[in-house]
Amino acid sequence: MTFLSAARPCQTGTPSLTAISYGDPEARRLTRALHAEQVAVYGFADDPDDTPAGHFVLPQGLFVIARCDDSPEAVGCGGWRLLSSDTAEIKRMYVTQAGRGRGIGRRILEHLESQAVSRGVNRMVLETGVRNEAALALYRSCGYQPCPSYVPGRDSRVNRAMVKSLSLSTLTVNVQPQ
């Protein structure tokens, strides 16, 4: 659930992305902040502690944090994890209030897609909340389309599932492999 406003760059350029363990203190701080925002909006949310850190270890997945040079703390995060040999799921996308409006969510998403494609993924799925209009707009602008829920028991009045076909030719950024 990434609450983003119109994208503008970090103060002095592109946010830096760093691959870290999902259990890293910075990752925990950000995923807990995401959880708190989701609970405030919906009254409930998936607990980030229920996702094993091993889901985000290469080659099965990846978790990154984003920093802008004008912020000592990470201001965003996100990850992907394999669901099958060619399908991955975007998880825990989040940008802090201080980081919003700088294009950080888009940069994280593009990086995650690129890294997944480099490991043979050709289909990406994700879920976000129906009230998270900024995230829905970001995902649509990046080529994601609505799809039926891929998680059993999800309430379509609360969750929106989306899908995107990936290939090297559809990626919009050139990033270095992790």
CATH code at 166? Answer: 3.40.630.30
**157 within a domain of the structure (yes/no):** yes
**58 within a domain of the structure (yes/no):** yes
Helix (H) or strand (E) holding 106: helix 104-117
β strands within the chain, DSSP E: 16-19, 61-67, 76-82, 87-95, 123-129, 145-147, 159-165
Confidence of residue 98 (pLDDT cuts 50, 70, 90): confident
**50 within a domain of the structure (yes/no):** yes
- Give me the number of domains the chain comprises: 1
Query: In terms of pLDDT, which residue wins out, 176 or 127?
Result: 127
Confidence of residue 10 (pLDDT cuts 50, 70, 90): low
Name which of 173, 170, 166, 172 is nearest 80 in CA terms. 166
- Whether pLDDT at 6 is above 90: no
**176 within a domain of the structure (yes/no):** no
The boundaries of the domain holding residue 87 are 16-170
**1 within a domain of the structure (yes/no):** no
**11 within a domain of the structure (yes/no):** no
CA separation for the pair 36, 39 (Å, rounded): 5
Return phi, psi of residue 114, to 5°: -60, -45
**42 within a domain of the structure (yes/no):** yes
pLDDT in tens, 72-93: 799 999 999 999 999 999 999 9
**96 within a domain of the structure (yes/no):** yes
Amino acid letter, 47: D
Q: Which two tokens stand for residue 69?
A: 């040079």
